[in-house]
């Protein structure tokens, strides 16, 4: 029986604890594919789970980590063979099923996507759930008729994971991108990714008006709350806002005005339980449309042992772009 290291979150009467421990394959949860994990990443949701700022973990003990990439060790699933490179995003990993902060994982094969040939395991995790979610948002805008000729597209939380990948994708596809950020020091970084205009997030953080001046044809929002409400109030007639995050809160202090007076669409984007077909499409488009040079520019690589120190930083908005975690 193979032994491996895993970050185990446990709950005691005194509170929760995080510790790297040695486990065996028999300790893994049910599934029809076993994967040797080589890389993972840290997303905003992982930060919430590791710090306990939100009840992300719903089964104890738990191996956190909503993403992983690696190679199949064994499989009884018809789609996957030993040695194949695979990716997992979501499906309750790190919440109700042992996740990616471990050298081994066992999951349902229906949860996995084959890693596109264009990406290494490290590059797949440089994208991770944040980047895959950004692609789902871009696909959503496209399906609702937002084209490069329609006008600028706003990206909120621009220096974060979702925002960084969204800017790179939209710019590659020919969109004019307006990037909203609270970090003025990241202006050069955002422009290198493809942002044509950079605005201070304070412009979107104040009390929303029902309608405001039309400024963009669409938006990718990972922030929520006042930011999302203001983005909606400034979206042009017939435009679409793809909402995928809640970094500023779960509330939405708006009115029906953008929807019934301008025909604006608010489209929710969920990456956790998205069906397999949507995942395969998103990863295929990422392989085609994401500039790997820009992906490298937004990515840093750290040992997995650093993840607990990174968790509070990502919640505080101190992490730029994407972080790849190596599990040696």
Q: Rounded to two decimals, what is the model's pTM?
A: 0.96
Q: Could you read off the pLDDT of 271-324 as tens digits, one per residue? A: 999 999 999 999 999 999 999 999 999 999 999 999 999 999 999 989 999 999
Could you give the CA distance from residue 287 to residue 179 in angstroms, rounded to a whole number? Answer: 23
Could you give the CA distance from residue 257 to residue 263 in angstroms, rounded to a whole number? Answer: 9
* Fold category of 3-115+298-326 in CATH: Quinone Oxidoreductase; Chain A, domain 1 (3.90.180)
The domains of the chain are located at 3-115+298-326, 129-268
Tokens of 194: 């493809």
pLDDT tens series, the chain, 328 aa: 689 999 999 998 888 899 999 999 999 999 999 999 999 999 999 999 999 999 999 999 999 999 999 999 999 999 999 999 999 999 999 999 999 999 999 999 999 999 999 999 999 999 999 999 999 999 999 999 999 999 999 999 999 999 999 999 999 999 999 999 999 999 999 999 999 999 999 999 999 999 999 999 999 999 999 999 999 999 999 999 999 999 999 999 999 999 999 999 999 999 999 999 999 999 999 999 999 999 999 999 999 999 999 999 999 989 999 999 999 8
- The CATH class of 129-268 is alpha beta
Q: Strand 33-41 vs strand 322-326: parallel, antiparallel, or unpaired?
A: antiparallel
Q: Rounded to 10 degrees, what is the CA torsion of 223, 229, 234, 236? A: 90
């Amino acid at each position: 029986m193979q032994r491996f290291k895993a970050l185990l979150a446990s709950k005691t009467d005194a509170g929760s604890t995080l510790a790297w421990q040695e486990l065996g394959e028999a300790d893994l949860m049910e599934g029809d594919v076993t994967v040797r994990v080589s890389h993972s990443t840290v997303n905003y949701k992982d930060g919430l789970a590791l710090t306990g700022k939100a009840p992300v973990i719903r089964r104890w003990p738990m191996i956190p980590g909503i993403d992983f990439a690696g190679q199949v060790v064994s499989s009884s699933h018809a789609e996957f063979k030993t040695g194949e490179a695979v990716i997992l995003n979501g499906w309750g990993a790190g919440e109700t099923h042992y996740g990616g902060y471990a050298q081994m994982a066992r999951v349902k094969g229906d949860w996995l996507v084959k890693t596109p040939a264009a990406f290494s395991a490290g590059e797949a995790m440089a994208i991770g759930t944040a980047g895959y979610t950004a692609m789902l948002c871009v696909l959503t805008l496209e399906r609702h008729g937002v084209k490069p000729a329609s006008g600028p597209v706003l990206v909120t939380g621009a220096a974060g994971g979702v925002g960084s990948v969204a800017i790179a994708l939209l710019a590659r596809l020919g969109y004019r991108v307006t990037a909203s950020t609270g970090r003025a020091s990241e202006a050069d970084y955002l422009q290198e990714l493809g942002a044509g205009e950079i605005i201070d997030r304070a412009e979107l953080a104040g009390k929303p008006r029902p309608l405001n001046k039309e400024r963009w044809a669409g938006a990718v929002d990972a922030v929520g709350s006042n930011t999302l409400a203001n983005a909606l109030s400034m979206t042009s007639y017939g435009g679409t806002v793809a909402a995928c995050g809640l970094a500023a809160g779960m509330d939405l202090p708006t009115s029906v005005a953008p929807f019934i007076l301008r025909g604006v669409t608010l489209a929710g984007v969920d990456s956790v339980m998205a069906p397999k077909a949507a995942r395969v499409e998103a990863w295929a488009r990422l392989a085609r449309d994401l500039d790997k040079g820009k992906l490298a520019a937004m990515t840093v690589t750290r040992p997995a042992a650093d993840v607990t120190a990174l968790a509070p930083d990502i919640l505080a908005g101190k992490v730029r772009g994407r972080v790849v975690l190596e599990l040696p």
